[in-house]
Amino acid sequence: MPVKETKISVTMERNEEIVDTFNGAQLKWKLVSKQVQSKWVTGPDSGPYNSVLMNEVRYMELSFHKKHKDMVFQNYLPHVLEKSKEVKEERKTLKLFTLGGDRMRGHRVERWQSVNLDHPATFDTLATDVNVKEMIMEDLERFVKRKEFYRKVGKAWKRGYLLFGPPGTGKSSLIAAMANYLNFDIYDLELTEVRRNSDLRNLLISTANRSILVVEDIDCSIELQDRLEKARVMNPFPSHYHQQQGTQVRLLLFVIISVFNDFLRCLADGI
C-alpha cells in the first residue's frame, strides 16, 4: 500500500462544531445534516447503473461576527481553499491510468481505468548523469512555476519530452521519477486502441490537470505508415481496415507534432 494511504483521516460527526481562529477572529464551522425524501441520484459522468440512494443532505455552515465579513471573504476563505489544495496534493496517491477495455465497444464505462502507482523511482535512484538529472528537474520546476505565464500568453500549459532507447534503459523509470517529483498522475495512451479523431479528443479532454500523458512505442506505430503506403499501391480501393489504420497514422502524427513543438520551443529557449 502506498505510504500516503496509511495516514489516518478524521471527520466530523453530524451537527458537530469546530472553532477556527484567523487574524484574531473566531470562526465557527458546523456540519449540518438534514434528512430528505429518498431518491436515486447519479453523478454527471455516471451511468444509469451507478446511481445511489440519497436520503440525507450535508453541508458546512460558517458563522462569524458581522464585523469580520470583509476579512472572511477577502482573506480567510481564499486561505482555506489554498490550504485545502495543499493538503490534497500532499495526501494524493498517484494513479496510473490506462484505457478501459470496453470503452471502444459502446459500453458506458469510464474512459480511463486506474490503479495506484507505487513506483519507487526517484531522481535520486536513477542511474543517470547528475548534470542531466539536474537539468530535467530545473526544467520541470520552471514549467510548474510558469503556469500563470502560459495563461497570460494564451498557451496551453503543457511540456513535451521525447524519450528513446532500447528496452531496459530506464525510460519508464524516468517517467515514474518525474511523476513522483511533480506528484502528477500518469495516463498511458496506446494509439492502437484509438479509432477516430473524436475518440482521441475525448480522451485528452478527460485527463486530469497536473498529469503526465505517455504515448508509448511511437517508432513501432510509424512503421504502420510505410505498410499502408505499400497497401495503397497494391489496392487503390482501401478496405475498412486500412481506413482505420490510416486514421491511427493521422492520430499518431498529431501526437508527434504536439510533442515536437514543445521540444523545439525548449531548444529555442536555450538559444
Give domain limits for the chain: 3-91, 95-270
35-41: long-range pairs with CB below 8 Å, 24+: none
18 φ/ψ angles, rounded to the nearest 5 degrees: -135, 150
Question: Which grid cell is 264?
Answer: 523545439
Task: State the pLDDT confidence band at 241, using cuts at 50, 70 and 90.
Answer: very low
* 95-270 topology per CATH: Rossmann fold (3.40.50)
Name, of 109-118, 151-160, 172-181, the range with top average pLDDT.
Answer: 172-181
As a whole number of angstroms, the distance between CA 179 and CA 210 comes to: 10
Q: Rounded mean pLDDT of 80-97?
A: 86
What is the value of pTM for the model shown? 0.61
* 239 Rama sector, left if φ>0, alpha if ψ -120 to 50, beta otherwise: beta
Residue 263 has pLDDT above 60, yes or no: no
